[in-house]
Structure 1
Amino acid sequence: MSDIANNISHIRERIAAACERSGRNPEAVRLIAVSKVKPAADIDAAFAAGQQLFGESYVQEFRDKSPQVQSTVEWHFIGGLQSNKVKYLRGKVAMIHSVDRLSLAQEISHQWQKEGTTCKILLQVNIGDEGQKSGCDQDKLEQLVRDVSALPNIQVCGLMCLPPYCSNAEEVRPYFHRMRELAGQIDQLQIPGVSMNELSMGMSGDFEVAVEEGATLVRVGTAIFGERIRKNG
């Protein structure tokens, strides 16, 4: 068994253990292998080990790399996204996790309308109120949900966050807990066309805590593929 396959197996065991601790069904949590700056061969190796969902963060890299992947993977776009680059994702990704403004959602709607299909999206929340991070402010989230839900060719499926970095995963727990509260508050509004079934949160250093707090999608890269060398652009 390859290192990648071993890593995936170990992570799934840790997800299952976190679900057991919190009384959740492990089938309710899906693992996204964050494959940015990793070669197509690594993605194929992960797919061969049973991994199906892969997350990319850079549009240009995704455009160049995705045709090289031999496996029939499910792509998720999880990084910051400029409206003028949405067209390169049209019809190629199953979900966009990082929608944080109406103008971006409008462009996604426009592009998927050309396909005659619906794009599943998550709304990114700036849960730590950090000035340097993307994401909708908590107090503006309800209005964003209402505005985006009125667009055609878009389905709001839940929320996503990148909490403040903490070396101790337990210090991130309150942010994940708050995300679950926000999702519950939005769900209670019963806005047509909106579901809060998905919570995308948790990465290599804190995904177990995220699962305990309700994550349905965890984004793990380093713990699967090893350390990455960041590319520019």
Structure 2
Amino acid sequence: MIADNLHDIQQEIQESCALVSRDASAVTLVAVTKSVEADQARELVELGVTNVAENRVDKLLAKKAALADHDLTWHLIGNLQRRKVKQIINEIDYFHALDSLRLAEEIEKRAARPIKCFIEVNVSGEESKHGITPQALPELIAALQTLEKIKIVGLMTMAPLHAAEAEIRDVFHRLKTLQQTTQKQVATCTELSMGMSHDFKLAIEEGATFVRIGTALFKER
């Protein structure tokens, strides 16, 4: 089941890239394993997936320990409380949800090395979503310049779950525009973490370089 799902998703990534004349190698599939146990995550890893994500600190630490015999790239994609930074920050390769200067300063204090961070932007303006407003982005970017352990690699967002295709595309397009503007301030801000199981194809067409997929990988066929 997982092997078939993975094959289908890889095919869809290639097709979406081809539609907009992009190289599929420019898109990183990040497998979100929050809904499954370690044995299912292991099955996926043994099929060749090397980028694994969790949205909770405890779950990531447990999965990483269970899969310690594999060389994996670990992504924390969920909201991170400052009191938990010390536990997790040196266990991950990418953090997808940086949304405040105070959190960045705590990471700066606790990190043993530069951490690759995506700034989470609430492009859609939904109250239920985390992230800074697009208007607040330039000020945060400027403030982060003094922090040596924060490496801004890109921007992240989530589109509305139940929205028309045009609205979803608009959210992704606006994040791409913000990324291009931000890159003028910070040369390393080249990536876009956007797109999940239900909308990753649209995200790729709008420029996503990291897609976070969970449900579609583990669903019953």
> What's the TM-score, normalizing by structure 1?
0.90
Cα 1:172–1:30 change in 2 (3 A) is same
Does the alignment pair 1:48 with 2:41? no
Does the alignment pair 1:218 with 2:218? no
Q: Aligned letter for 1:32? A: V
Match of 1:160 in 2: 156
The answer as to whether partners of 2:53 and 2:60 remain within 8 angstroms in 1 is: no
Secondary structure of residue in 2 paired with 1:66? helix
Match of 2:109 in 1: 110
Cα 1:173–1:123 change in 2 (3 A) is same
Q: Aligned letter for 1:138? A: P
Q: What per-residue deviation string (whole Å, max 9, x for no partner) do you get for residues 189-210 of structure 1? A: 3x4xx52211000000000000
1:71 Cα deviation from its structure 2 partner: 2.5
Percent identity between the two aligned chains: 35
Q: What per-residue deviation string (whole Å, max 9, x for no partner) do you get for residues 174-233 of structure 1? A: 0000000001111123x4xx5221100000000000000000000000000128xxxxxx
Cα RMSD for the two superposed structures: 1.4
Structure 1's unaligned 5+ residue stretches are 228-233
Secondary structure of residue in 2 paired with 1:89? helix
Does the alignment pair 1:177 with 2:177? no
Match of 1:27 in 2: 25
Match of 2:97 in 1: 98
Match of 1:125 in 2: 121
Secondary structure of residue in 2 paired with 1:196? coil
Secondary structure of residue in 1 paired with 2:131? coil
> What's the TM-score, normalizing by structure 2?
0.94
Cα 1:7–1:169 change in 2 (3 A) is farther
Structure 2's unaligned 5+ residue stretches are none
CA distance, structure 2, for counterparts of residue 76 and residue 21 of structure 1: 28
- Aligned residue-pair number: 219
